Amino acid sequence: MGNVDAQLPRWLAIIICLCGSFCSAMVFITVSNIGRRAHWAQLVFAFAIIGTCVATIPLISQLAPLKWPRGVVPYIVIVSVGCCALVGQSTFNYGMQLCQSAVTSSLVRQSDLIFAFIY
């Protein structure tokens, strides 16, 4: 992969990061408000659809050239990461539905930074 930083202006990168933080915060608020009225699989499907729509924007704008992986191994890795992400998102949504507030679930979610730093 090439260096994308030279092509992307700093102000645009800041706006993208702020939008990502805003969307991340909205996940906790949305799932807390929905609670158990929706099945966790419905939430996973909705987030997958929204994520696909959001990811389509940079693909269409072609900020960086697209290159298909060569061989079978990269595709196996991509499918494996997708399966792990599905399991992680499912347990994440189910766990957030069990929490009483968005604050509790966001604190538990952000504790992975501490464990990653210690590791």
Domain ranges of the chain: 10-118
Given this model, what pLDDT does residue 80 score?
96
Given this model, what pLDDT does residue 3 score?
52
Average predicted confidence (pLDDT) for the chain: 81
Q: Residue 8: CB partners within 8 Å, gap ≥ 6?
A: 63
Report residue 57 CA to chain centroid gap: 15
Given this model, what pLDDT does residue 4 score?
53
Arithmetic mean of pLDDT, 93-114: 76
Q: CA-to-CA distance for 43 and 30, rounded, in angstroms?
A: 10
Q: Residue 78: CB partners within 8 Å, gap ≥ 6?
A: 69
Arithmetic mean of pLDDT, 37-46: 82
To the nearest whole percent, how much of the chain has pLDDT over 70?
A: 93
- Given a cut of 80, whether residue 109 has pLDDT beyond it is no
Nearest-5° Cα angle at 80, 77 to 86: 140
Given this model, what pLDDT does residue 74 score?
93
- Given a cut of 70, whether residue 28 has pLDDT beyond it is yes
**DSSP assignment of the chain:** ---STTTS-HHHHHHHHHHHHHHHHHHHHHHHHHGGGS-HHHHHHHHHHHHHHHHHHHHHHTSS------SSHHHHHHHHHHHHHHHHHHHHHHHHHHSSSHHHHHHHHHTHHHHHHH-
The model's confidence at residue 81, banded by pLDDT at 50, 70 and 90, is very high
